[in-house]
Amino acid sequence: MELNEPNSDFWAFARRLKGKKTLNKPIYDDNRIELTNHDKANILAQHFYKQFMPHDNPRDLEFIYEVRHYVQDWLAAPTARNLIDRINKEEVSDITKHLRVKKAPGYDEISDLAIKHN
C-alpha cells in the first residue's frame, strides 16, 4: 500500500483514530463511582426521590413564608393557571420510551440511555 494513494484504507483508518472519542463518564455518589447506565439510573432515581420528598420538619420558617407568599401571589395572577398543564406519570413514561439512546448527552452529561433505563 502506498501512502500517496487518494483512496487508501490507511488514511481512512488514520481519520477514525483522530476522531472525537466518546467516554462513558462516571457519576460520583458519596464514596462510590458508578459507571454502568443501570447504576447511574439508580443514582439519579434516588437523588430525585430524596429531592422531591416533603420535609416533615422545615427549619427555615422565614423562607417558608416567603415561598408561600410568592406562590399565592403567582396563583392569584389572572393567567397563572393557564400557563402550565399538569404532567402525569404516563406522559413522562411515554416521552422516555421515545428517547434516542445513541444521541449525545446534553449539558448535564446524562445520557438518554441512563434516563431510559429507569
Whole-number average pLDDT of the chain: 80
Q: What is the pTM of this model?
A: 0.41
Residues in the chain: 118
In angstroms, the first-to-last Cα distance of the chain is: 50
Confidence band, pLDDT 50/70/90 cuts, at residue 68: very high
Instruction: Summarize pLDDT for 26-67 with one digit per residue, the tens.
Output: 888 888 888 888 888 888 888 889 888 887 777 788 888 999
